[in-house]
A = this chain, B = another copy of it.
Amino acid sequence: MRIAQAGLFRSIKKDLEILEEDLLESVKSDVPLVTEVGTHLVKSGGKRLRPALLLAAAHASRNFSRDRVMPLAAAVEMIHMASLVHDDVIDHADTRRGTPTANAKWGNQVAILSGDYFFAQAFSKVAHARYGEEVGMRLAKLVSELSVGEIQQDAMMFTAEHSIEEYYQRIEKKTADFLAICCELGAMVSGADEEVCRGLYSYGHCIGMAFQITDDLLDIVGDAKKLGKPAGNDILQGVVTLPVIRALEKSPNRDELAAIITNRHMTDEDVKRALEIVKATDGVDFAKSKADEFLAEAKKALPKELPEDIRETFVAAADYIGKRDF
């Protein structure tokens, strides 16, 4: 579901409509198959959280120009799309948000190359818009960190030796840095003051941490139908998240839990049992409280200079992350 449809980001509704057009335009290619893949991916959804934050942040400046900021908004969504396409190949995922993945529909070959194409198109858009090389540098670093973060996550899969610090570093690379950069760059290319850019960066970082903690939490307690995937999917994939890390510390059944999550051949029954063990601890509440702390910090980080409707938008986005159940 688009984030706009959740009643959020109303203040930039028009921007988000134009973003959809821009994205469809951006994935076009001389080769019909490439256009087909791109169109499928754009239409099959996504919350558009990253470009929405970027566009809202751009309104932090009095010099807001939709034409100026739009290529960058489309570029960050394309980077996100590209990384999801590669993730789906890696995870052998058949569906995402209830829609067939690119690899399921066209095979790994087309999916991997389409991902590369979207990455490149994103950098191309940014270079054409001439924001200055700082912006290209930040986005390149972001993609580097996204990839490295995933490799790091993969190296830690099916292990039971996780710390909260390691988990935070992991979700920082995976999500928080991305949202932070969206908020910062949106303000930056619109010519906002440095302090405003810094404040929005912190805000983005904090809601990013909260967003990923919540995402991970929903994998434990969420409704399979709303999630579009069965609960416990992370455990099945070998990805250890905050409630599980907490349970590994606190549960009387921690040895049983460790045995399950380190077993690459765990059954669905094992996953169910692992979920039971985690839910019997304060792991879920603990994660929830950490997410809430980050959201409170996010609101505090919002720069004072923001126009009132944009401040409200950012506050509402933070509240939404705290409450979302899908």
With contacts A83-B116, A86-B113, A113-B90 taken as known, whether A124 is within 8 angstroms of B137 at the C-beta atoms is: yes
Give the nearest-CB partner of A86 in chain B: B112
Residues of chain B with a CB closer than 8 A to A152's CB: 31, 33
Assess whether B116 is in contact with A86, with CB atoms less than 8 Å apart. Answer: yes
Residues of chain B with a CB closer than 8 A to A155's CB: 31, 33
Chain A: interface secondary structure? helix
From residue A100, how far is it (CB to closest CB) to chain B in Å?
18
Assess whether A119 is in contact with B119, with CB atoms less than 8 Å apart. Answer: yes
From residue A31, how far is it (CB to closest CB) to chain B in Å?
5
Give the nearest-CB partner of A135 in chain B: B127
Q: How far is the CA of A137 from the CA of B129 in the complex (A)?
A: 10
Can you name 10 A-B pairs with beta carbons within 8 Å? Answer: A30-B148, A113-B148, A113-B150, A116-B146, A120-B142, A123-B123, A123-B140, A127-B136, A130-B133, A133-B133
Q: How far is the CA of A115 from the CA of B147 in the complex (A)?
A: 9
A residues contacting B by CB (< 8 A) are: 29-31, 33-34, 83, 86, 89-90, 108-110, 112-117, 119-121, 123-124, 126-128, 130, 132-134, 136-137, 139-144, 146-148, 150-152, 154-155
From residue A283, how far is it (CB to closest CB) to chain B in Å?
27
From residue A212, how far is it (CB to closest CB) to chain B in Å?
18
Assess whether B89 is in contact with A108, with CB atoms less than 8 Å apart. Answer: yes
From residue A72, how far is it (CB to closest CB) to chain B in Å?
13
**Stoichiometry (number of copies):** 2
Assess whether B120 is in contact with A143, with CB atoms less than 8 Å apart. Answer: yes
Q: How far is the CA of A127 from the CA of B143 in the complex (A)?
A: 14
Residues of chain B with a CB closer than 8 A to A86's CB: 112-113, 116
Q: How far is the CA of A110 from the CA of B90 in the complex (A)?
A: 9
Residues of chain B with a CB closer than 8 A to A31's CB: 148, 151-152, 155
Assess whether B110 is in contact with A154, with CB atoms less than 8 Å apart. Answer: yes
Assess whether B141 is in contact with A124, with CB atoms less than 8 Å apart. Answer: yes
Pick the residue among B90, B120, B128, B137 that contacts A127 (CB under 8 A). B137
Assess whether A127 is in contact with B110, with CB atoms less than 8 Å apart. Answer: no
